[in-house]
Amino acid sequence: MSADKGKKNKNKKDAERSAALDEVRLRIREQIRYNQPDFWLLLAILMLLGLGTMMVFSASSASAVFMAGGDSSAYAILKKQLIFAVIGIITMFTVSLIDYKVIARFTLPFFGVCIALLGLVQVIGVSHNNAKRWLKIGIEFQPSELYKIAVILFLAFVFSRPRIAYKAVRLMGIIIYIIPVCIGIGLIAIQPHISCVLIIGLVMLSMMFAGRVKIPTYICMGIFAAGLGTVVLLAAHVDFSYISERFTTFLDPEHDTGGDSYQIMQSLYAISTGGLFGRGFGKSVQKNLYLPEPYNDFILAILAEELGFIGVALVLGLFVLFIWRGYKVARNAPDRFSSLTAFGITSLITVQVLMNVAVVTSSMPVTGISLPFFSYGGTSLVILLASMGILLNISKQSHYDKF
């Protein structure tokens, strides 16, 4: 009897030990699972980058041969984009390993550096197409691309600090963030880079909404921004006659098909000939020097021509997946700073995609708005992927189902 009882006790202890080990293993698996980046977010980023690089090659092949004087160098632009894509991926995964709390400590210095770089553009900046937006310090880049991220981090910092946030959501609190942000916006406006001003303005409004700013503050901000903008632009003597020309083109695209309306008309021709399934990859007609620089802001038109409605629906579907998961990261983020940062980065991509699609389809006046992950641009792609690294790091530290 005693032997049977001892055996039962041993079996019971073994069962309890086994159950305890199983529970530990389950907790470890859950911990590993929750400490991984959001799978669907990462998948959307990589797929968009892959499709974007593929379309840069297709859209740029004819232009690359033309710029090379007829030599067989159709891969010239693709090679540059691939190099920056690889650098961008390495940067993204490196940044994703850096705790966002470390990034938060350097928010104010980073914001200040970006303002200084924008000021430096006016002194030693490089001009292209009558716009002075670039700095050449070893590499050529647009400080305005860095400033977009700096504004997001700065506003997340302001609205996440209890003492500052208490004032920031009220009427007089706008001086805490509106004046610093508007300094950068003013410097961007005189480059001129109005599309970037619109993007930053819309992202700022969305973050103010997420930061629970009071309604009267929006009205006061609008009056202040309009007044400051008018003073800056008049003082800088910037010629904005091209804006009225673009509005005329928007209202009547056929009024000057050989001049101001040429680009948008070629874009509409490309979209209309794509049909349901498109002409086929690499078979675009408009990229053959009809649509100017088809691998930049109007790359979506080439995609529509080659891959048709199905291809465009796939790409927009991937952007919807990215936006959904980005806002899910923001909603489940561990603290207010990370939540607002994830919200701001996701809103930035959302605004740019919506505006680019609207421009390419002539639903709004033409502005120089690139399509994230698709439009050609080396340093801008690296900066974009670096911001994706911040978003992935936040997702790592957020507890929700990521698969």
| Sequential pLDDT tens for the chain (403 residues) | 555 656 666 666 666 676 666 666 655 555 555 678 999 999 999 999 999 999 999 998 888 887 766 555 778 888 999 999 999 999 999 999 999 999 999 999 999 999 999 999 988 888 887 778 888 887 888 999 999 999 999 999 999 988 887 777 777 777 888 889 988 988 898 888 888 999 999 999 999 888 888 777 777 777 776 776 666 666 655 555 556 666 666 656 666 565 667 888 888 889 999 888 999 998 999 988 788 888 988 999 999 999 999 999 999 999 999 999 999 999 999 999 999 999 999 999 999 999 999 999 888 887 778 999 999 988 899 999 999 999 999 999 888 877 7
Residue 401 within a domain: no
DSSP-assigned beta bridge partners for residue 87: none
Question: Cα(300)–Cα(349) distance, rounded to whole angstroms?
Answer: 15
The reported pLDDT for the residue numbered 193 is 84
Number of domains in the chain: 1
Cα 367–Cα 370–Cα 371 angle in degrees, nearest 5: 130
The reported pLDDT for the residue numbered 152 is 96
Q: Phi and psi dihedrals of 133, rounded to 5?
A: -125, -10
For the CA atoms of 199, 204, 206, 210, the dihedral, rounded to the nearest 10 degrees, stands at: 160
Sign of CA pseudo-dihedral 186, 191, 194, 198: negative
- Least Cα distance to 174 among 144, 227, 147, 214 occurs for 214
- Least Cα distance to 390 among 320, 338, 353, 347 occurs for 338
Residue 12 within a domain: no
Residue 8 within a domain: no
The reported pLDDT for the residue numbered 127 is 83
The reported pLDDT for the residue numbered 357 is 94
Helical (H) or strand (E) element with 29: helix 2-34
Question: Cα(57)–Cα(55) distance, rounded to whole angstroms?
Answer: 5
Residue 273 within a domain: yes
Residue 29 within a domain: no
The reported pLDDT for the residue numbered 91 is 96
Whether the CB-CB separation of 279 and 306 falls below 8 Å is answered with yes
Q: Is 295 exposed, middle or buried (0-12, 13-18, 19+ CB in 10 A)?
A: buried
Where in the sequence is the domain holding 45, given as residue range(s)?
35-396
Residue 328 within a domain: yes
Residue 3 within a domain: no
Whether the CB-CB separation of 35 and 395 falls below 8 Å is answered with no
Number of H helices, E strands in the chain: 15, 3
Please give the C-alpha separations between residue 211 and each of 14, 131, 166, 191, in angstroms, as whole numbers. 54, 34, 10, 30
Q: Phi and psi dihedrals of 370, rounded to 5?
A: -80, 155
Whether the CB-CB separation of 320 and 349 falls below 8 Å is answered with no
Question: Cα(243)–Cα(249) distance, rounded to whole angstroms?
Answer: 10
Residue 206 within a domain: yes
